[in-house]
Amino acid sequence: MTVHESVLDAIGETPLFRLTQLGRGIVTPLYAKAEFLNIGGSVKDRAALSMVLQAERDGLLRPGGTIVEATSGNTGIGLAIIGRQRGYRVIVGVSDRSAREKVDILRAYGAEVVLAPTRFAKQHPDHLFNVVRRLVDEIPGAWLANQYDNPANPAAHLRTTGPEIWRQTGGRVTHFVAGVGTGGTISGTGEFLRGASGGTVTVVGADPETSVYSGGDGSAYYVESIGHFLHPDTAEDVWPQSYHRDVVDRFERIPDRESLLTARRLASEEGLLAGPSSGAAAAAALRVARTLGPDDLVVVLLPDSGRSYLSTVFSDDWLRRWGFLEDPDGAEPTVRQLLDRSPGWADRLVTVSSRASAGAAVDGLPGSVVAVAVVLARAERRHGLSATEILGWIEPAALGAAIAAGRIRPDSPVSDHLVDPLPAVGGGQPVSAARAALGPRHAAAVVLRDGRAISLVTREELDAAIR
C-alpha cells in the first residue's frame, strides 16, 4: 500500500479508465484520464503545485507570504491545499457565477474567498481579475499566481501529465482530447505527446459552442472552467499565454446540452462522477473515436469532480429550470407545447441594448409588450440569447408613462430603470411548475431552451392551460 508523507505527494499519477459503456459499438479504444482523483479533486492541483514551487524558487513567494488568485474554483482549491500545507495565507477571488459548492470547498480548505462579478468587461475596475490585482498591491508579501499567463502552468503537464499518458498507454495513444480554459493542460500535455510520438499524436480541443477559441460568437455558456467568453465591451481580447495555440490540431465544438448530459452519463453509466467540462471533453472524444479504427487509441482528460456541481448539473430541477431537461412523465402539457399552440410566440421576446437610453428603449413599442429584456450589446449573436446575458428587465408601459410625466429623463440610461427580473422557466417544465414560478406579481415568465431565452409565456396562458 502506498504511504505518503504529505497530501502533496498524492498529486498526479491518476489512473486511466476505459469508457466501455459510452464507447459501446466504437471499435477504437477510448480511455479517460481521471484527473478528479487528484487530492483536491481536479487537474488544477498539478498546475497549482508547479506554480507555488516555482514562485518559491524564484523568490516571489516567501515565508509568511500570501497567495492570491482569480479562479472559477479548481485552481483556487489546489492553491488552498498547497498554500496552507506550506504555511501561506490564501485568498481566492471567485466568479459570482461559480457553483456554490466550490466556494464551500475553498473555505473548508482554509482559503479566504472574495466573490466578484464577471459580468463586466475586463478593463472594468470591479471585474474579478482587477479585484484580485488590487489585493496583491495592497497586501505586503502577496503573490499573484496568475495561472492564465504563468509558464509553470503548462510546464506542470509537460513534466507530469503527458509522460503519464504515454507510459500508461505504452506509447499507443494516437489522439488526445481535452478542454481549453487557461490552456495549460492541453498545451503542456499535447506538447509532450506530440514530441514523444514524433508528431503523430493528434491533439483535439473540446470547446463550448460559443467560445471564441473555436470561432464562436463569444456569448455566455454553461460549462465552467473551459472556453473563452468575450464581453462585448472588452477593449482588447487578450488570450492566455498559458495556451499555446500551435499545439492544438483542431477543435470539437460542443453545445451545452451535450456537455451537461454527457457528464451525467459518465456518472450513471461509467461510475465516473465528473464535472461539466469533463462532459464536454468526453462528448468530443466520442465524436473523434467514431471516425477512427481499431489501431487508434483515444485518451480524454476528465479535469474535475462532479461533486462540485451537485446543485446544478446533477440536479434534475436545475436542468429543467434552465431548459436542458424535459419533464419525464408527460402527465400535463409543457411550456414549450403551450407556446407551440400560440401563433407568433417566437416574436414575444423583445430586447434592448444595455447601452440604450430610456426613451429609445420604449419608443415605438406596441402596447402588447409587457416586458423588455435589457441585454449585453453583442454585434453578432449566432447562438441565441443566453439567459445569463440578460442584465434586467423594464416594463415599457410604466417607463413610458414616467417619461411622459417628466419623472424620468428620456436620455437617461435604460439600465437605471430595471424592475424585478422576470422568473425563468424551462420549456420542458410542466405548465403548473411555470405558473408556480410566476408568484403574485409577474405577468409573464421568460422561457428557456438550453439556457437561452426563446420567448415569454403569460400568466393568462398558464392559467387557461391549467383550468
Q: Which residues, 6 or more positions from 275, have their beta carbon under 8 angstroms from its beta carbon?
A: 36, 224, 225, 263, 303, 304, 305, 306, 308, 309, 313
Q: What stretches of 169-306 show up as alpha helix (H) in DSSP?
A: 184-196, 256-270, 276-289
289 in Cβ contact with 28 (< 8 Å) = yes
Q: Which of 33, 44, 102, 122 is catalytic?
A: 44
How many CB atoms lie under 10 A from the CB of residue 58?
10
What sign results for the dihedral spanned by CA atoms 129, 278, 43, 207? negative
Give the angle 396-402-407 at the CA atoms, nearest 5°: 150
CA atoms within 13 A on the CB side of 154: 23
For residues 5-37, one letter each, b for 16 or more C-beta atoms within 10 angstroms of the residue's C-beta and e for the rest, the string is eeebeebbebeebebeebbeebebbbbbbbbbb
Catalytic status, residue 102: no
Q: Residue 416 class from Cβ within 10 Å (0-12 exposed, 13-18 middle, 19+ buried)?
A: exposed
247 in Cβ contact with 157 (< 8 Å) = no
HEC sequence for 282-326: HHHHHHHHCCCCCCCCEEEEECEEHHHHCCCCCCHHHHHHCCCCC
Q: Cα-flanking dihedrals φ and ψ of residue 314, to 5°?
A: -100, 15
Distances (CA, A) of 175 to 32, 203, 261, 286: 12, 6, 23, 11
CA-nearest of 58, 80, 54, 77 to 67 is 80
378 in Cβ contact with 464 (< 8 Å) = no
Q: Cα-flanking dihedrals φ and ψ of residue 268, to 5°?
A: -75, -25
Edge-first strand listing for the sheet containing 66-71? 112-116, 89-95, 66-71, 142-144
Q: Which residues belong to the active site? A: 44
